[in-house]
Amino acid sequence: MNMSDKSTSKKGGPSTVGKLYLLAYNTIQTVGWTYLLLQTLGYFLNRGRLDNYWEEIKWTVVIFQNAAILEVVHAAVGLVPSGVATTLAQVYSRVFLVIGALLATASAPRSPGLPLCILAWSITESIRYAYYALNLVKLVPRFLLVTRYSTFLALYPLGVTGELLCMYHALPEVAEKQLFSVSMPNAYNFLFSYYHFLIFYMFLYIPLFPVLFGHMMSQRRKMLGADPKKSR
């Protein structure tokens, strides 16, 4: 689940053009994820069925989640002070779920985990991108700062649970269809089982979740310290 942090201060900071670009990027992402949240709430309030939920939100998720790949680029070129490795790990987990499970199988989108992770993602990202956009113009209200560094306490575990459920429901279909797998013999003498890779990837959540959650807890202590001035 993506919780990458962009520090509010960087020596020198981005150029004016860079700031305008980041302002546009974060504003667009705020609108996109807020729209996804409204799509989700509207769909289920109108008694929409889980079977058709993915078709309702698919392109919104694909567009705005994959756009997060740009955050890795931002970190790599120094446009923002985020760590490249941490940002990559957090962005990759979601992009992999979208491409490697939700778009690749018919079973993952019907998992009860889908609304869980979409709800967690959309709330988190609406807040996060709004915070980033307002921070660029130094207009972050205190309540948004507190919300940005508090909601993850519940939403991060919820999102991770949803992601794992989606991958779990994809496993039988992946095994049956041998999706993305390479069997022997072949010209390259190479064997790959996507089914077993997916299981291995799911187990990686066990050591990685505490690390990424701990990173956010560290950021929370830093940003919501005793001195509000230091938090800004």
For the beta carbon of residue 172, count every other beta carbon within 10 angstroms: 12
| Sign of the CA dihedral running 211, 155, 54, 172 | positive
The predicted model scores a pTM of: 0.89
125 catalytically annotated: no
CA gyration radius, the chain: 19
Q: Rounded to an integer, what distance in angstroms lies between the CA atom of residue 109 and that of residue 103? A: 8
- Give me the mean pLDDT over the 123-128 stretch: 98
Catalytic: which of 163, 168, 194, 195? 163
Burial of 137 (0-12, 13-18, 19+ CB in 10 A): exposed
CA count, 13 A, side-chain hemisphere, 228: 6
Question: What does the alpha-carbon distance between residue 143 and residue 140 come to, in Å, rounded to a whole number?
Answer: 8
Q: What integer pLDDT is reported at residue 12 of this predicted model? A: 62
**Annotated catalytic residue within 53, 132, 149, 156:** 156
Q: At residue 226, does pLDDT exceed 60?
A: no
Give the containing element (helix H, strand E) for 31.
helix 16-45
41-61 pLDDT per residue, tens:
999 999 999 999 999 999 999
Percent over 90 (pLDDT), the chain: 83
- Predicted local confidence at residue 8, as pLDDT: 41
pLDDT greater than 70 at residue 1: no
Q: Is 163 a catalytic residue?
A: yes
Q: What count of Cα atoms within 13 Å lies in the side-chain half-sphere of residue 23? A: 13
